[in-house]
A and B are shown apart, each in its own frame.
Chain A
Amino acid sequence: MVRILAFFVGLGFVAALIFSIIVTPFASTEESVTEEFHKQPKTLALASDGPFGRYDKQQLQRGMQVYNEVCSACHSLNLVNFYSLEGLGYNEAQIKAYAASHEVPGLDPDTGEPTTRPGLPSDHFPAPYANEIAARSANNNALPPDLSLITKAREGGAPYVYSLLTGYTAVPADLPAENRPGTGLHYNPYFANLNLAMAPPLTSEGQVTYAPGNPKPTVDQMAKDVSAFLVWTAEPKLESRHAIGWAALAFLLIFTVLTYLSYRQIWAEKKGK
């Protein structure tokens, strides 16, 4: 009885699917214009890549400088607090001084009126705009995303960020009119819909002045450095993750060998072969 019922239920599903196949028009998929012009991220090799990856602290510091002097005009870094900057190799005094150089929202201790005060190490990076409406009104109605997690929140990660920063080109001649950038938009083939509200942020060599002993601040170098910095902001615990991972693996390899040997020994007489 169960089997007869099941047979008819099964036929019902199969019939519904055959019906679905018949009524669904089969459209051969053509590559859309955006897919045709869209490019995959360039390759970007960073010191933090791979299971042995560690951060290049000099590079992170340069990247933070690029963020401070360029990106932070529009983009927030809400999730990062100042004391975590010790991950970049800064000491406590440097972090205190750096935090104090930022004005963060606060309350006047006498009147209770909203005001600003110098930042403390426990404060987070202050946002450039008070809220979303202010951010949009200053940016032609586009919202600059928070950058704290950007390398984890975009398909392609850090190479995507690097490609976007260095990927602005002239509009190709064969791009159809409806895909050409409108007012306030900029052509960038690494962006999914090709037209990006962000104007090219890194435009000329020397836009940021690196301390002596660092590589030349070319556009490419600055883009690499800030991408590396944004990998760190998204994953500040990467180095301890890799270190603990290797320790755990070393322990488990010994553990597994021992359990295998004891398994073999216990079963030795039962295998009967």
Chain B
Amino acid sequence: MSFPWAEEYKPKSAMMQWMDDRLPLPRLVYGAIGAGYPVPRNLNYFWNFGVLAGLALTIQIVTGIVLSMHYAANADIAFASVEHIMRDVNSGWMLRYMHMNGASFFFIVVYIHMFRGLYYGSYKAPREMVWLLGVVIFLLMMATGFMGYVLPWGQMSFWGAQVITGFFSAIPLVGEPIRELLLGGFAPDNAALNRFFSLHYLLPFVIAGVIILHIWALHIPGSNNPTGVEVKTESDTVPFHPYYTAKDGFGVGIFLIAFVVMTFFAPNFLGHPDNYIPANPLSTPAHIVPEWYYLPFYAILKSFTGNFLWIDAKLWGVIAMFASILILFFLPWLDNSPVRSAKYRPTYRMFFWILVADVLVLGYLGQAHVTSWVVLMSQICTMYYFAHFLIIVPIVSRIEKTLPMPNSITEAVLSGEADEARPIGVAPTNPAHPDPVKA
């Protein structure tokens, strides 16, 4: 698909030949994830996370479909129906815990996948569309995860729905009508629960569709790699199968071990005790917090406390929270450094790690008991978050002095890790690997 030396699919039997002439599905699979897709040979383990995200979505869809056979989307019995799954349905507890923890693992691998893209410049030309579709998937995941958390109809489900839909009421004039339209009432109730269930079932399939586009767009230029140097010759690549199917198989094993440890030995570690209390509109929990994967955004929401420019602080918070994700759509054009990989961008690399720390601290602050220190810290961290993408990255990409890059992926591989960035003509630090061009 992407490179002239990509292997062409050759049917091995008369039956497959017959199939290939009529519906070339094996050809499609061969070209997408088989030997027909050449991939840079130097990908590190961070390139496993795309496949892992796909696996996590599959786990969610399979467990979710079975759970929906036993779940009742009715405000009166939703909580009891989840407990029915936990107690009376055969292996229902396993499906439910897998689905609960599967959502967390989906977000963990997707966050790593996204930071991988940020570090190695995978969002840059010619892969902007891959990045944009990825941000769309992320937004869909957030909507799906939120609506799924509402379904057990516990205290956090109810009050989370109350708070999140409350964002819309911050919009001037039309906010309150929009909120009522979304909820189908004045507060979360049966109407809201039913539409959330319907959409929670629908959106994962939309995600699956956008993933197909994401992979399609990826296969036009081919995968990025840790050096960020474009593929030049056949020796820079290996066929996806068996090389990366084997490597992904190993990654899948590690992922599943972590998933099993959480699901079977600490299934409620990432949850909140209040969600084991049935929803009660008359009793507000002392401390409403969203699921852990929304915490950085929740901290951003809460950090705006002043009515700057006569815009209400609450509206500032809502705008900032949505903007914090929407600015990712502009990233390919905000960063116009010709060098992709942060390996050769020392200044960008430093700011990248500050961003990672910043987001982690925001996550901590999102669930912390609100004190003046927490508010001040989240204001500073939010400031850095926006400054990073909107001010620092554009400036750094203009003024940064980048390090010399290897001429090709093959050269980077053959000269070994330490010598990857060594320009031609400079003496190798490892004499066991002489200059590949001269040798």
Query: Which residues of A are at the interface with B, using a C-beta cutoff of 8 A?
Result: 2-3, 6-7, 9-11, 13-24, 26-29, 51, 79-81, 84, 145, 148-149, 152-155, 157, 192, 234, 236-237, 241-242, 244-246, 248-249, 252-253, 255-256, 259-260, 262-263, 266-267, 270, 272-273
Classify chain B's interface size: 35 or more
Decide if A260 touches B253 in the complex (CB within 8 Å): yes
**Known interface pairs A51-B265, A266-B242; A28-B308 also in contact (CB < 8 Å):** no
Closest residue of A by beta carbon distance from B278: A146
CA distance A41 to B202 in the complex (A): 43
Decide if B308 touches A2 in the complex (CB within 8 Å): no
Closest residue of B by beta carbon distance from A52: B265
Closest residue of A by beta carbon distance from B286: A192
Q: Which of B99-124 contact A (CB under 8 A)?
A: none
CA distance A149 to B273 in the complex (A): 10
CA distance A81 to B413 in the complex (A): 63
Q: Which 10 residue pairs of A and B lie closest in terms of their CB atoms, listed nearest first?
A: A245-B264, A10-B390, A256-B253, A153-B276, A20-B306, A259-B249, A13-B386, A16-B308, A23-B306, A19-B308
Closest residue of B by beta carbon distance from A255: B253
Chain A residues, CB < 8 A from B268: 152
Chain B residues, CB < 8 A from A262: 246, 249
B238 at the interface (CB under 8 A from A): yes
Chain A residues, CB < 8 A from B391: 6-7, 10-11, 14
Decide if B306 touches A16 in the complex (CB within 8 Å): yes
B163 at the interface (CB under 8 A from A): no
Q: Which of B207-263 contact A (CB under 8 A)?
A: 238, 242-243, 246-247, 249-250, 252-254, 256-257, 260-261, 263
Decide if A24 touches B306 in the complex (CB within 8 Å): yes
Chain B residues, CB < 8 A from A21: 306, 376, 379
Contact with A along B259-281 (1 / 0, CB 8 A): 01101110110000110110000
User: Among A24, A80, A152, which residue has its beta carbon within 8 angstroms of that of B276?
Assistant: A152
Decide if A256 touches B257 in the complex (CB within 8 Å): yes
Chain A residues, CB < 8 A from B133: none
Decide if A17 touches B273 in the complex (CB within 8 Å): no
Closest residue of A by beta carbon distance from B154: A153
B87 at the interface (CB under 8 A from A): yes
CA distance A241 to B243 in the complex (A): 36
CA distance A14 to B386 in the complex (A): 7
Chain A residues, CB < 8 A from B131: none
Chain B residues, CB < 8 A from A6: 327, 330, 334, 389-391, 394
User: Among B87, B250, B413, B414, which residue has its beta carbon within 8 angstroms of that of A256?
Assistant: B250
Chain B residues, CB < 8 A from A273: 416
User: Among B250, B320, B416, which residue has its beta carbon within 8 angstroms of that of A13?
Assistant: B320
Decide if B250 touches A259 in the complex (CB within 8 Å): yes
CA distance A2 to B383 in the complex (A): 20
Q: Give the shortest distance, in Å, between A260 (CB) and chain B (any CB).
A: 5
CA distance A205 to B170 in the complex (A): 58
Chain B residues, CB < 8 A from A148: 83
Chain A residues, CB < 8 A from B196: none
A sample of 20 cross-chain residue pairs with beta-carbon separation below 8 angstroms, ordered by A number, consists of: A2-B334, A3-B334, A7-B394, A9-B390, A16-B320, A17-B380, A24-B372, A26-B376, A27-B372, A51-B265, A79-B87, A81-B87, A152-B268, A152-B276, A237-B93, A242-B264, A245-B264, A248-B260, A259-B250, A266-B242
CA distance A260 to B250 in the complex (A): 5
CA distance A234 to B267 in the complex (A): 13
User: Among B93, B242, B309, which residue has its beta carbon within 8 angstroms of that of A16?
Assistant: B309
Q: Give the shortest distance, in Å, between B123 (CB) and chain A (any CB).
A: 14
CA distance A152 to B387 in the complex (A): 41
Decide if B257 touches A252 in the complex (CB within 8 Å): yes
Decide if A10 touches B305 in the complex (CB within 8 Å): no
**Known interface pairs A6-B330, A248-B264; A152-B273 also in contact (CB < 8 Å):** yes
Best-buried of B273, B274, B416 by chain A (most CB within 10 Å): B273
Q: Give the shortest distance, in Å, between B380 (CB) and chain A (any CB).
A: 8
Decide if A14 touches B383 in the complex (CB within 8 Å): yes
CA distance A234 to B276 in the complex (A): 9
Decide if B394 touches A20 in the complex (CB within 8 Å): no
Decide if A153 touches B253 in the complex (CB within 8 Å): no
CA distance A244 to B98 in the complex (A): 13
Best-buried of A80, A84, A266 by chain B (most CB within 10 Å): A266
Decide if A263 touches B249 in the complex (CB within 8 Å): yes
Q: Give the shortest distance, in Å, between A262 (CB) and chain B (any CB).
A: 5
Decide if B372 touches A20 in the complex (CB within 8 Å): no
